[in-house]
């Protein structure tokens, strides 16, 4: 397993007893309090090789508490545990304004980093974010200004919040999925096509933890916990491990009360899934993680199975962990009755009428920023019917709280749900976090071109 977090205390290094998942390196925590985290994040131009030996100019996050640290894609992981008080000192060294949005974390509204909750952090300026980890699970942070451009350039990083639910596994892995469009020289392509704007930018290089076709070592016969996060602008990943069943143990907001098994899991942009994987095999075997075609509309071509990563099996673990039961969360269904207030949201699209025009995207025939603010009372429960009238799927993301999907058999907490084309998805929402929030499609080109709305919970701030 990865090393625990190292922190500085009166000039001396010590460790907190917090195990980091395998994957992106954790941010250095400089607060000696075991129930507090203090980290520093810098957004700046950098270099990163999406193709071996061919570095590209990117924008990336680096650890401001590590002298000489260089930015990386994805950025360093924010690691903590349930109940931790978090302080993030953020500095913007980019040539344009940006923010940090804590996707899935229930932060105070003024620290959400969205277009309506916070003034942008200008170049050369700083901002300190403060919040508490109130849920255990897998989350991420990224900008919320010009997100289609800034995230595509490399500004994103995972968050892992540990709870009291951890079970024995032979490896806990953070697998950040992305794709980028690069030229043969390795640089990010400056070309944005009409198809990119219509369906979300489609990359020609698939990435896991910032690498093309990485090779991981894993113990033969081992049990692993995989935390899958889709950070792509528009690409859906349909992830499978041929010859293996995957046990889904968690969604966006944490562990499920009843895990379930699948052959593959479709992960829309912004979604997270936690899996328990029994690797099997013998030392010397290799396993290939793949993504299959998922038909999300607009006649996107089927490219067949595409490799994501290779797992090279090593000697079996000395004390296998595969006898432990699958972890389970404790979730009560939200109280939905015939009298529960209901709202309907229709997602629609408008293809460009003339060459050179951009497509437009709407919620209830309104395009951000010219939208009607929704107002709900604090601690009210509502049912939202998300009606997708478009010719493609749209992942619907809500800031500030979680929801339960009423049309699926697996009870769990979500903050992003895929709404297939020409279909309706119903969600139950408990508005327990006052302030101004946003809801939008998490295909980033769609949100930036109108498919975004504003929600006010409680009195006007």
Per-residue pLDDT tens for 393-452?
999 999 999 999 998 899 999 999 999 999 999 999 999 999 999 999 999 999 999 999
Report pLDDT for 16. Answer: 63
155 and 188 in a single domain? The answer is no
Task: Tell whether pTM > 0.85.
Answer: yes
Q: Given 100, 133, 162, which residue is the final one in a domain? A: 162
CATH number of the domain encompassing residue 435: 2.60.40.420
Decide if 300 is inside a domain.
yes
290 and 377 in a single domain? The answer is no
Decide if 323 is inside a domain.
no
149 and 243 in a single domain? The answer is no
Decide if 332 is inside a domain.
no
At 141, list the tokens.
């942070």
286 and 380 in a single domain? The answer is no
Chain centre distance of CA 435: 22
How many structural domains is the chain composed of? Answer: 3
48 and 89 in a single domain? The answer is yes
Across all residues in the chain, what is the average pLDDT? 93
What is the number of other CB atoms lying within 10 angstroms of the CB of residue 359?
18
> Residue 197: what are its φ and ψ, rounded to 5°?
-75, -35
Instruction: Please choose, from the candidates 212, 190, 287, 208, the residue with its C-alpha nearest in 3D space to the C-alpha of residue 243.
Output: 287
Write the pLDDT tens digit of every residue in 150-199. 999 999 999 999 998 667 899 999 999 999 999 999 999 999 999 999 99
267 and 394 in a single domain? The answer is no
Decide if 288 is inside a domain.
yes
Report pLDDT for 194. Answer: 92
Report pLDDT for 165. Answer: 66
3-state secondary structure (DSSP) of residue 38: strand
156 and 176 in a single domain? The answer is no
d(CA 1, CA 11): 27
Decide if 428 is inside a domain.
yes
208 and 144 in a single domain? The answer is no
19 and 126 in a single domain? The answer is yes
Over residues 229-240, mean pLDDT: 98
Decide if 331 is inside a domain.
no
Asked if omega into 111 is within 30° of 0 (cis), the reply is: no
What is the number of other CB atoms lying within 10 angstroms of the CB of residue 30?
17
Domain, as residue range, for 397: 342-457
Reported confidence tier of residue 323, pLDDT bands at 50, 70, 90: low
Is the pLDDT assigned to residue 369 strictly greater than 60? yes
Helix (H) / strand (E) containing 273: strand 272-278
Q: What is the dihedral of CA 125, 128, 133, 136, to 10 degrees?
A: 20
Write the burial class of residue 8 (CB in 10 Å: 0-12 exposed, 13-18 middle, 19+ buried). Answer: middle
Residue 421 · residue 391 · CB < 8 Å:
yes
Write the pLDDT tens digit of every residue in 252-277. 999 999 999 999 999 999 999 999 99
Span of 146-155, 208-217, 322-331, 337-346 with lowest mean pLDDT: 322-331
430 and 352 in a single domain? The answer is yes
Over residues 84-88, mean pLDDT: 98
11 and 152 in a single domain? The answer is yes
**Pairing, β 78-81 against β 157-162:** parallel
Reported confidence tier of residue 23, pLDDT bands at 50, 70, 90: very high
Cα angle at 74 between 53 and 95, to 5 degrees? 90
Report pLDDT for 460. Answer: 83
Percent of the chain with pLDDT over 90: 89
Percent of the chain with pLDDT over 70: 95
CA-to-CA dists, residue 261 to 61, 240, 247, angstroms = 35, 12, 4
Q: Given 162, 179, 205, which residue is the final one in a domain? A: 162
């071996």: which residue's tokens?
A: 52
16 and 153 in a single domain? The answer is yes
Decide if 319 is inside a domain.
no
Decide if 321 is inside a domain.
no
Question: 317 or 123: which carries more pLDDT confidence?
Answer: 123
Q: Given 162, 184, 210, which residue is the final one in a domain? A: 162
Report pLDDT for 322. Answer: 66
């Amino acid at each position: 397993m990865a090393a625990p977090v190292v922190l500085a205390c009166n000039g001396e290094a010590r460790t907190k007893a917090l195990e980091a998942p395998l994957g992106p390196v954790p941010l250095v925590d400089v607060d000696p309090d075991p129930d507090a985290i203090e980290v520093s994040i810098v957004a700046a131009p950098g270099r990163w090789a999406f193709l071996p030996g061919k570095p590209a100019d990117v924008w990336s996050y680096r650890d401001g508490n590590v002298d000489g640290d260089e930015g990386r894609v994805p950025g360093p992981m924010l690691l903590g545990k349930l109940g931790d008080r978090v302080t993030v000192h953020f500095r913007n060294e980019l040539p344009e304004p940006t923010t940090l949005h804590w996707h899935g974390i229930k932060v105070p509204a003024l620290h959400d980093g969205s277009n309506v909750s916070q003034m942008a952090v200008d170049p050369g300026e700083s901002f300190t974010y403060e919040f508490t980890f109130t849920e255990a699970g897998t989350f991420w942070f990224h900008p919320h200004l010009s997100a289609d451009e800034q995230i595509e350039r490399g500004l994103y990083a995972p968050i892992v919040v540990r709870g009291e639910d951890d079970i024995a596994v032979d490896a806990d892995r953070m697998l950040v999925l992305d794709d980028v469009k690069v030229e043969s020289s390795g640089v990010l392509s400056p070309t944005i096509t009409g198809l990119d704007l219509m369906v979300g930018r489609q990359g020609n290089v698939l990435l896991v933890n910032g690498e093309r076709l990485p090779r991981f070592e894993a113990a033969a016969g081992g049990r692993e916990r995989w935390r899958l996060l889709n950070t792509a602008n528009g690409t859906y990943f349909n992830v499978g491990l041929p010859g293996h069943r995957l046990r889904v143990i968690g969604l966006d907001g944490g562990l499920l009360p009843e895990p379930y098994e699948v052959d593959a899991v479709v992960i829309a942009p912004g979604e997270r899934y936690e899996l328990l994987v029994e690797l099997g095999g013998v030392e010397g075997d290799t396993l290939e993680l793949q993504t299959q075609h998922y038909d999300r509309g607009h006649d996107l071509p089927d490219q067949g199975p595409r490799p994501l990563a290779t797992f090279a099996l090593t000697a079996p673990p000395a004390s296998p962990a595969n006898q432990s039961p699958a972890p389970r969360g404790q979730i009560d269904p939200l109280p939905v009755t015939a009298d529960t207030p209901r709202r309907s949201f229709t997602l629609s699209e408008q293809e460009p009428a003339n060459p050179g025009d951009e497509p437009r995207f709407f919620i209830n025939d309104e395009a951000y920023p010219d939208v009607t603010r929704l107002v709900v009372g604090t601690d009210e429960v509502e049912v939202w019917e998300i009606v997708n009238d478009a010719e493609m799927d749209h992942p619907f993301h809500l800031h500030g709280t979680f929801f339960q999907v009423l049309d699926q058999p697996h009870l769990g907490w979500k903050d992003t749900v895929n709404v297939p084309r020409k279909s309706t998805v119903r969600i139950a929402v408990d508005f327990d976090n006052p302030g101004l929030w946003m809801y939008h499609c998490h295909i980033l080109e769609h949100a930036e071109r109108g498919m975004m709305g504003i929600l006010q919970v409680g009195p006007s701030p």
